[in-house]
Amino acid sequence: GWAGQPGVALEPFDFEGTHLVPIELSAADVQNYYEGFSNDTIWPLYHDVIAAPTYKRAWWDAYVRVNRRFAAAAADVAAENGTVWVQDYQLQLVPKMLRELRPDLTIGYFHHIPFPAYGLYAQLPWRKQVLEGLLGADVIGFQRVADAGNFARAVRRQLRYDTKASGISVPDGEGGTRVALAKAFPISIDAESYIELAQRPDIQQRAREIREGLGNPRKILLGVDRLDYTKGIRHRLKAWGELLEDGRATVEDATLVQVASPSRERVEAYVQLRDEIEMMVGRINGDHDTMGHTAIRYLHQSYPREEMVALFLAADVMLVTALRDGMNLVAKEYVASRIDNRGVLVLSEFAGAADEMGSALLINPHDIGGLKDTIIRAIDMPAAEQGRRMRALRRRVRDHDVEDWSREFLEALSAFHGRTSSAPAAVAARAASVDEEAGS
Ligand code: GDG
């Protein structure tokens, strides 16, 4: 990882049983590699160009340089025949660079955000290099089956490699072919730690205080997101504002608590988004607040986990309205925290979590009319139906927590490392057998 602050050179150190090797990034690296290429090129492109991606050659050059630095550092410290698991879109070139430096290693990569449809991916001026970078891994994990499918299609179209089932035939540079696995491994949360927090009397007391502090509205609606244009916060505010405007809800009926944690504050699209959201909140509150009740309690702040769980316990309705989201852990954290089997999750079908959480009220956030109807349905949902849905959701999150996720990925990685193939048919057979071994 990097030190978290530009220009800070830290010696390797141990923390909670893990040896950490910080990579130094200069202020220019942060600007070009991190805020630029990672967060203003890849992030918007991979989230369906909700915001327009910026393509700058100087940013790409910085991305290559910094990826090389990470690869070199990993190559220096990894054990002989060891395993390296590369995390996320800031490091897409590392798998190939690392394989070149250390052919003995087993290399995995997990992609936390969506992988876009080919028609969008094709915009990327460096589309071939990025695919080749990722294909340096033995296993490339995605959140959704659709993401893995989009990746395989991009590989077929751009690189003309064979793909069968989840296996991709990659030339090994010596006339042979190795097989990389590209497959969905949906991430999860440490569910047990949320359950433990939700059981604490002080946190339950805090949930009651939060409700009191809001003037005891009949229902509390909650949104928790990094302040990001992918999260659909504007769509959520628009729907809620219209419901108040139409008289279908009042501020005594319900208050929306929106935690929007500060994020990427030096990227222009985020500066603009914050202005737009704060203007909307000001208008809606100005129109509807009373002395005792508010339409939206907007908090541009970050909170400790205890406070987040108290908020989850206080919230009758959780609104996850992302326009595009790799998974959305907040949806899973909310249901894990609801040890009382009450509360309603309204969940965007454009979040990866929708693939596993079919018992939520699924919505299309672009359909403001449908979103409004669903919010009313959630506010009015009878306790028995809440219980039925919440129990099914909680079962899924408890049965598949973050430990299962990492174990399944690492098992697939050790099963798949070193697979070679001469015929495409063999690729299909091997990919299918690993699918079974990974249990999905
Ligand atoms: C990326 C992908 C994918 C937020 N505010 C506070 C706070 N949070 C915590 C939440 C949750 C996490 O941050 C956010 O995770 P999400 O999954 O919701 O979204 P991203 O940050 O965009 O994460 C996403 C994820 O990677 C994992 O693969 O699911 O799709 O975009 O845990 O609770 N936590 C605390 N205070 C806050 O104010 N303590």
Q: Angle at which helices 191-199 and 383-399 pack, to 10 degrees? A: 130
Separation of CA 333 and ligand 1 centre (Å): 10
Query: Which residue among 330, 337, 349, 350 is best mutated to probe the pocket of ligand 1, counting the most ligand atoms within 8 A of its Cβ?
Result: 330
The answer, yes or no, to whether any atom of ligand 1 lies below 6 A from the CB of 260, is no
The number of the ligand 1 atom at minimal distance from the alpha carbon of 302 is 38
A 10 A CB-CB count for 373 gives: 16
Are 366 and 235 in contact, with CB atoms under 8 Å apart?
Answer: yes
The answer, yes or no, to whether any atom of ligand 1 lies below 6 A from the CB of 161, is no
The answer, yes or no, to whether any atom of ligand 1 lies below 6 A from the CB of 223, is no
The answer, yes or no, to whether any atom of ligand 1 lies below 6 A from the CB of 428, is no
Phi-psi region of 328 (alpha: psi -120 to 50; beta: other; left: phi over 0): left
The alpha carbon of 301 is separated from its chain's Cα centroid by a whole number of angstroms, namely 20
Q: What are phi and psi of 140, to 5 degrees?
A: -115, 115
**The pair of three-digit structure tokens given for residue 199, joined into one six-digit string:** 């059981």
Q: In what order do the strands lie in the sheet with 219-226?
A: 296-299, 254-261, 219-226, 317-320, 344-348, 361-363
Separation of CA 248 and ligand 1 centre (Å): 31
Query: Which residue among 89, 263, 327 is best mutated to probe the pocket of ligand 1, counting the most ligand atoms within 8 A of its Cβ?
Result: 327
Separation of CA 335 and ligand 1 centre (Å): 15
Amino acid 212 reads: E
Amino acid 139 reads: V
Task: Classify burial at 309, counting beta carbons within 10 Å of its beta carbon; exposed 0-12, middle 13-18, buried 19 or more.
Answer: buried
Q: Please tell me the distance from the alpha carbon of residue 216 to that of residue 201, in angstroms, as a whole number.
A: 20
> If we measure between CA atoms, which residue out of 320, 318, 341 comes closest to residue 394?
341
Residue nearest to atom 33 of ligand 1 (CA): 330
What is the residue-level pLDDT of the chain in tens, covering all 440 positions?
A: 998 899 888 999 999 999 999 999 999 999 999 999 999 999 999 999 999 999 999 999 999 999 999 999 999 999 999 999 999 999 999 999 999 999 999 999 999 999 999 999 999 999 999 999 999 999 999 999 999 999 999 999 999 999 998 999 999 888 899 999 999 999 999 999 999 999 999 999 999 999 999 999 999 999 999 999 999 999 999 999 999 999 999 999 999 999 999 998 888 889 999 999 999 999 999 999 999 999 999 999 999 999 999 999 999 999 999 999 999 999 999 999 999 999 999 999 999 999 999 999 999 999 999 999 999 999 999 999 999 999 999 999 999 999 999 999 999 999 887 777 654 444 444 454 444 444 43
Which domains are present in the chain?
Answer: 13-187+402-437 (3.40.50.2000), 191-399 (3.40.50.2000)
Q: Which residues contact 345 (CB under 8 A, 6 or more apart)?
A: 318, 320, 331, 334, 335, 357, 360, 361, 389, 390, 393
The answer, yes or no, to whether any atom of ligand 1 lies below 6 A from the CB of 302, is yes
pLDDT at 174: 85
Separation of CA 147 and ligand 1 centre (Å): 19
pLDDT at 401: 97
Q: In the beta sheet, which residues pair with residue 256? A: 221, 296
pLDDT at 329: 98
281-287 contacts at long range (C-beta below 8 A, 24 or more positions apart): 281/237, 283/241, 284/237, 284/240, 284/241, 284/244, 287/241, 287/244, 287/245
Are 142 and 151 in contact, with CB atoms under 8 Å apart?
Answer: yes
The answer, yes or no, to whether any atom of ligand 1 lies below 6 A from the CB of 224, is yes
First to last CA, the chain: 31
Using the 8-state DSSP alphabet, how is residue 229 labeled?
A: G
The answer, yes or no, to whether any atom of ligand 1 lies below 6 A from the CB of 258, is no
Are 347 and 397 in contact, with CB atoms under 8 Å apart?
Answer: no
Give the pLDDT confidence of 223-263 residue by residue, as tens digits. 999 999 999 999 999 999 999 999 999 999 999 999 999 99
Amino acid 419 reads: R
Residue nearest to atom 38 of ligand 1 (CA): 302
Are 203 and 197 in contact, with CB atoms under 8 Å apart?
Answer: yes
Q: Please tell me the distance from the alpha carbon of residue 367 to that of residue 53, in angstroms, as a whole number.
A: 24
Q: Please tell me the distance from the alpha carbon of residue 93 to that of residue 184, in angstroms, as a whole number.
A: 20
> If we measure between CA atoms, which residue out of 94, 90, 88 comes closest to residue 147?
88
Q: Please tell me the distance from the alpha carbon of residue 191 to that of residue 399, in angstroms, as a whole number.
A: 9
Residue nearest to atom 15 of ligand 1 (CA): 329
Its pTM stands at: 0.94
